[in-house]
Amino acid sequence: MAAPMILMLLCKHGKLYVEQVMALRHLWCQLGIHFLCAKQDSEVPANLKNLIFSKFNCLRMQIMGNLLAPTKDAWKKCSGPWLYFLDVRGMTVHGSGVINGQGRDWWGKALLFQRCDGLQISGLTHINGPGSHIFVVHSQDITISNIDIYSPLESHNTDGIDLTNSVRVNIRDSIIRTGDDCIAMKGGSKFININNVTCGPGHGIRYSSKCELYKYSQ
């Protein structure tokens, strides 16, 4: 059976295109393809706030276009992460899209991956994170490559990538420009390989005394 897939379609061709996509929904679900559809450059619909994806195996998520988070005023009651992946093994997140967290004092984290062994993230641009742009916790065998993360220098607590209790992590060929840590390696993380990553203008790469580095090269 093919791996389940979530295809985030940020529609460029107006209402007609959306209707054509929705007409195929039943067929796609039979093929194991789950998808979310929103108009390009629009806010994510209300029912897509605080999304939780749990207990998938070999999930593939492709993001095309601009994924714009709802504003803080539009959703005042939740302080959790915007997109939360829990117990998803062998996940791939890729595409040429932009994830815009609408920053400032919004969520504590934009994307949270917890117990997501074998996670691969590539190709995406992450901007204006509300705090941590990408947070990986209790996971192993992670690869993050060819991504671009940006938040203004004056933004607070906008770490690019946070790692906690994560093992065998490869971060490479990326540009991370944030107001806080470029990459923060926290307690329980070990065997971290960082290669060809450009950081600035924030605090650079930081690791705690409980983190074991494997390799770091500029």
Is residue 16 domain-resident?
Answer: no
The catalytic position among 159, 162, 180, 181 is: 180
Rounded-to-integer distance, Cα 88 and Cα 137, Å: 12
Is residue 10 domain-resident?
Answer: no
Task: Supply the pLDDT for residue 165.
Answer: 94
Report the greatest alpha carbon distance in the chain: 56
Residue 210 is encoded by which pair of tokens? Answer: 């409980």
Is residue 156 domain-resident?
Answer: yes
Residue range 14-54, pLDDT digits in tens: 343 444 444 445 544 554 555 444 444 444 443 444 555 65
> What total of structural domains would you count in the chain?
1
Would you call 203 a catalytic residue per the annotation?
yes
Is residue 169 domain-resident?
Answer: yes
Q: Which residue has tokens 């996940």?
A: 91
Share of the chain above pLDDT 90, in %: 27
Structural domain boundaries enclosing 143:
39-217
One-letter identity of residue 185 = M
Would you call 94 a catalytic residue per the annotation?
no
Rounded-to-integer distance, Cα 81 and Cα 166, Å: 19
CATH number, domain containing residue 149: 2.160.20.10
Task: Supply the pLDDT for residue 37.
Answer: 44
CA-CA-CA-CA torsion sign (177, 178, 179, 182): negative
Residue 84, strand partner residues:
52, 112
Residue range 110-152, pLDDT digits in tens: 788 999 999 999 998 888 876 788 999 999 999 999 999 998 8
Q: CA triplet 97, 103, 109: central angle to 5 degrees?
A: 80
